[in-house]
Amino acid sequence: MSPAVPQHCPSPRELDDLELLTSGALAPLTRFDEPGSPITLTLPDDVRLAAVEAGAVEIVDPEGLPLARVAVPGGGIEALTHAQYGPFRDHYLTPAQVREAYPGRTFVPVAGPITSSQLEELSSRGSLALVALVGAGTPSLSPVALLRATRLAAARLPDAVVVAVPLATHGDADADHALGVQVLATYAGADPVYALAETEDDEFPDDIAAVIDFDQPPADERGLVLFFTGLSGSGKSTLARALMDRILEQGTRTITSLDGDVVRRNLSAGLTFSKEDRETNIRRIGWVAAEISRHGGLAVCSPIAPFAETRDQVRAMVDEAGGAFFLVHVATPLEECERRDRKGLYAKARRGEIPEFTGISSPYEIPTDAGVVVDTTGRTIDDALDDVVQALKTSGYLDLSVVEPNPPVVEPGGAPATPSSVVEPGGAPATPSSVVEPGGAPATPSSVVEPGGAPATTVSKPADLTANPTPEPTQGAAPVVEPPDAEGEGVSKPLNVLFVCTANICRSPFMQLAAEHHAAGDPTLAFDSAGTHGFRAHEMDGVMAATLTPRGISGVEAFKSKPLTRDHLAWADVVLVAENDHRSFILSEYPEVFRKVFTLGQFAAASAEHDLRGADLLHDLGQTRGVADPALDVADPYRRGDEAAEAAATQIDTLVQQVVSALSSHHLFGKEA
Ligand SMILES: Nc1ncnc2c1ncn2[C@@H]1O[C@H](COP(=O)(O)OS(=O)(=O)O)[C@@H](OP(=O)(O)O)[C@H]1O
Ligand SMILES: Nc1ncnc2c1ncn2[C@@H]1O[C@H](COP(=O)(O)OP(=O)(O)O)[C@@H](O)[C@H]1O
């Protein structure tokens, strides 16, 4: 009897590639794993072994429907069936079908929503076939939104049809471009291909803008997974519960709780505390949480989750589902958890009665990517919770400070109650908060067992700067009263200004420090900076830094560079970049922020023509922003000598002064208010 052909459900990218291979869209390519081709199929070791033995692997979709048989080795494909479902399936046509149905048209590749000016450009180009490139990993819109937007564009053109082609991205822009050209040529056959010009214009017809808005909700409307990790007894459940109460009191979101103990009694009943079972447990929690986030829901998870790799997997699952993942490391040291020993488990573990107990005989790997680190030792629950609430607010995901005014709470007996403040046994005065700064300020020390189960040691959290999603304003934390006509009347919030250049070591640090200098403690403004390809934790470039002192600008010693993340953008009310290229980069990677990204020169020029200031100015410019004149760019002075640095410094200093003065509301609503 010949060995059974194993089944395998590949990644979304590989499924898209399979569809293109079997439809003939990648002709002359017809198989996986041709030398030098990005169209590859990776099999897990056990599947590969079985496939080699059987001579083939059967590719199935996520629901187990066999799609194709792939020869192993060799990669040759025998198609079994095509995917027959999915939104707008009728638009998914093979090149042969397209050439038969739509001959004589001009073929237009569409990778993002078509703008108003592009529509105008297309309206005079005759009969069109808009080819929407909707594969896995497409950067701008989700596949279904790109198809919706392209259909709306087609309806606005005199004669256009829409074809969907699942061309996935392969992590290499050049290879993807070459594939795109090849696929378009195959679809067009003898007909012309017309590539839309890149446009700085980001105005869309209302119906297309609505599709974009629905697909890219603002940070505080996205699905959110709040993931508490830490040792048993560290305070995960207590803090998670208190946070959920606060969210429910605010009344803007519903919540699903996935507490460690509760999950183990239900979803993960029967699992042990072996490494393998813990990983299964966390992946189950992650899967459910990601599905909740897919629909804009909020999941609060509080398992120990001791392994970095599994936490990363959860982050990736949530990311794939379009949700935001926010990691809270409850870093209460082992000694304190053991002192609490609420369930008596540590004592048992010390006596050897519980094998593989986290912190005693099983490792806990300290997160280096937490959004906030909280040590609850000697603090009230409310105080520790405030760290989490503050970090969430800074991240842009959840702002719990906007609440309806509370009626006074009256104690039995009639006296007004003092604010609730639960002090635990042994509860000493609060220690300072340890929100992780973008600059990677070390957290309070936390005791951990290192991987491998070595005895607990006291370590400081590594100064990780990569994935920190909580840019902290460098000043302006003091509350201000908003202009009476601004949104959120009476709510305290500075305007957050993010400066961006390439590496975050020359121009954008100068912008940030100069802005802080000119704002002179203005509480209505907060500043930060990052680089599109930012170095991590570098000092400012020495040549550029030398231009600061003669201008009386300080703060360079504390400065550390960082790469730009989505979370920095979420934090910012306005993003001011050095050059047009930075703007294009941000718009292609994070199209949802298009209303708030300007070049510094563009913003300064536009604000000079305005009477409005502060939030009103931002709002108005967000609606009417035009093309950024490249002549207003701040050229890169890096490694171009003292003169270039001095010229950039002078240019930036002037522009920043204008911007600070235009954005400040201090003279109106600051100290005097
Ligand atoms: N061996 C061992 N190690 C750690 N914890 C143990 C163990 N055995 C039982 N318990 C109890 O189970 C709770 C942790 O379960 P989790 O699902 O959160 O753990 S894990 O994430 O799968 O590692 C944990 O609850 P919390 O105190 O809420 O964290 C413990 O009460
Ligand atoms: N500031 C604090 N924050 C959270 N828990 C605290 C704090 N101070 C003391 N505790 C106590 O520590 C214990 C934490 O237990 P729990 O929340 O179940 O932890 P975990 O879910 O991490 O196992 C509770 O008894 C809680 O009352």
Please give the DSSP secondary-structure letter assigned to residue 632.
G
Q: Is 668 annotated as a binding residue?
A: no
Ligand 2 in reach of 310 Cβ (< 6 A): no
Looking at the structure, tell me whether residues 121 and 160 fall in a common domain. yes
Looking at the structure, tell me whether residues 443 and 583 fall in a common domain. no
Domain boundary residue among 434, 459, 484?
Answer: 459
Q: Which atom of ligand 1 is closest in space to residue 342's alpha carbon?
A: 27
> What pLDDT sits at residue 140?
78
> What pLDDT sits at residue 409?
52
Looking at the structure, tell me whether residues 229 and 266 fall in a common domain. yes
**Phi, psi (degrees; rounded to nearest 5) at 129:** -115, 110
Per DSSP, the three-state class of 380 is coil
CA of 455 to the centre of ligand 1 (A): 19
Please, is 2 exposed, middle or buried when counting C-beta atoms within 10 Å of its C-beta (0-12, 13-18, 19+)?
A: exposed
**Phi, psi (degrees; rounded to nearest 5) at 330:** -85, 100
> What pLDDT sits at residue 414?
44
Report the alpha-carbon distance of residue 467 to residue 308 in Å, rounded. 13
Report the alpha-carbon distance of residue 597 to residue 635 in Å, rounded. 18
CA of 7 to the centre of ligand 2 (A): 46
Which residue's alpha carbon is at the smallest distance from atom 27 of ligand 2? 424
- Asked if 125 and 106 touch (Cβ cutoff 8 Å), the reply is yes
Q: Is residue 408 part of a domain?
A: no
Pocket test for ligand 1, best of 304, 332, 343 (most atoms within 8 A of CB): 304
Ligand 2 in reach of 382 Cβ (< 6 A): no
Does residue 336 carry a pLDDT above 60? yes
| Paired strand residues for 324 | 224
Q: Is residue 595 part of a domain?
A: yes
Q: Is 232 annotated as a binding residue?
A: yes
Q: Is residue 480 part of a domain?
A: no
Does residue 443 carry a pLDDT above 60? no
Looking at the structure, tell me whether residues 142 and 255 fall in a common domain. no
Question: What's the domain count of the chain?
Answer: 4
Tens of pLDDT, residues 103-119 = 999 999 999 999 999 99
The residue type at 134: V
Looking at the structure, tell me whether residues 661 and 561 fall in a common domain. yes
Does residue 331 carry a pLDDT above 90? yes
Ligand 2 in reach of 234 Cβ (< 6 A): yes
Q: Is residue 535 very low, low, confident or very high in pLDDT (cuts 50, 70, 90)?
A: confident
Nearest to 665 by CA among 606, 598, 619: 619
ipTM higher than 0.95? yes
> What pLDDT sits at residue 625?
67
Mean pLDDT of 433-441: 37
Does residue 445 carry a pLDDT above 90? no
Q: Is residue 432 very low, low, confident or very high in pLDDT (cuts 50, 70, 90)?
A: very low
Ligand 2 in reach of 340 Cβ (< 6 A): yes
More confident residue, 634 or 537: 634
> What pLDDT sits at residue 580?
87
Q: What b/e readout covers 303-341, taking b as 16+ CB neighbours within 10 angstroms?
A: bbbbbbebbebbbebbeebbbbbbbbbbbbbbebbbebe
Q: Is residue 469 very low, low, confident or very high in pLDDT (cuts 50, 70, 90)?
A: very low
Pocket test for ligand 2, best of 241, 358, 424, 433 (most atoms within 8 A of CB): 424
Q: Is residue 413 part of a domain?
A: no
Domain boundary residue among 459, 477, 509?
Answer: 459
Looking at the structure, tell me whether residues 200 and 223 fall in a common domain. no
Does residue 634 carry a pLDDT above 80? yes
Bridge-based pairing of strands 457-459 and 525-531 is unpaired
Q: Is 231 annotated as a binding residue?
A: yes
Mean pLDDT of 418-444: 35
Pocket test for ligand 2, best of 228, 238, 375 (most atoms within 8 A of CB): 238
Looking at the structure, tell me whether residues 663 and 518 fall in a common domain. yes
Looking at the structure, tell me whether residues 209 and 225 fall in a common domain. no
Report the alpha-carbon distance of residue 632 to residue 652 in Å, rounded. 11
Q: Is 11 annotated as a binding residue?
A: no
CATH number at residue 223: 3.40.50.300
Nearest to 322 by CA among 193, 190, 221: 221
Mean pLDDT of 34-59: 95
Tens of pLDDT, residues 382-420 = 999 999 999 999 999 999 976 555 555 544 444 443 333
Tens of pLDDT, residues 203-257 = 999 999 999 988 888 888 899 999 999 999 999 999 999 999 999 988 888 899 9
Looking at the structure, tell me whether residues 50 and 106 fall in a common domain. no
Q: What is the mean pLDDT of the chain?
A: 85
- Asked if 464 and 368 touch (Cβ cutoff 8 Å), the reply is yes
User: How big is the chain by its Cα radius of gyration, in Å?
Assistant: 28
Does residue 643 carry a pLDDT above 50? yes
Q: Is residue 466 part of a domain?
A: no
Instruction: Name the percent of the chain lying above pLDDT 70.
Output: 85
CA of 430 to the centre of ligand 2 (A): 14
Ligand 1 in reach of 357 Cβ (< 6 A): yes
Ligand 2 in reach of 376 Cβ (< 6 A): yes
Q: Which atom of ligand 1 is closest in space to residue 349's alpha carbon?
A: 1
Its domain, for residue 159, covers 89-215
Tens of pLDDT, residues 157-186 = 999 999 999 999 998 889 999 999 999 999
- Asked if 176 and 148 touch (Cβ cutoff 8 Å), the reply is no
Q: Is residue 412 part of a domain?
A: no
Ligand closest to the CA atom of residue 266: 1
Does residue 465 carry a pLDDT above 80? no
Q: Is residue 501 part of a domain?
A: yes
Looking at the structure, tell me whether residues 161 and 50 fall in a common domain. no
Domain boundary residue among 149, 183, 215?
Answer: 215
CA distances for 68 relative to 38, 40, 64, 136, angstroms:
19, 15, 12, 19
> What pLDDT sits at residue 78?
94
Cβ contacts of 581 within 8 Å, gap of 6 or more:
none
Q: Is residue 248 part of a domain?
A: yes
Ligand closest to the CA atom of residue 362: 1
Does residue 377 carry a pLDDT above 90? yes
CA of 493 to the centre of ligand 2 (A): 31
Looking at the structure, tell me whether residues 431 and 552 fall in a common domain. no
Mean pLDDT of 640-662: 94
Nearest to 53 by CA among 5, 114, 102: 5
Report the alpha-carbon distance of residue 275 to residue 165 in Å, rounded. 42
CA of 380 to the centre of ligand 2 (A): 10
Ligand 1 in reach of 281 Cβ (< 6 A): yes
Please give the DSSP secondary-structure letter assigned to residue 524.
T
CATH number at residue 36: 3.10.400.10
CA of 358 to the centre of ligand 2 (A): 16
Q: Is residue 264 very low, low, confident or very high in pLDDT (cuts 50, 70, 90)?
A: very high
Q: Is 555 annotated as a binding residue?
A: no
Mean pLDDT of 638-648: 91
Mean pLDDT of 432-457: 35
Q: Which atom of ligand 2 is closest in space to residue 240's alpha carbon?
A: 17
Tens of pLDDT, residues 294-320 = 989 999 999 999 999 999 999 999 998
CATH number at residue 539: 3.40.50.2300
Q: Which atom of ligand 1 is closest in space to residue 273's alpha carbon?
A: 1
CA of 232 to the centre of ligand 2 (A): 9
Looking at the structure, tell me whether residues 107 and 247 fall in a common domain. no
Q: What would the two tokens of residue 519 be?
A: 């704002």
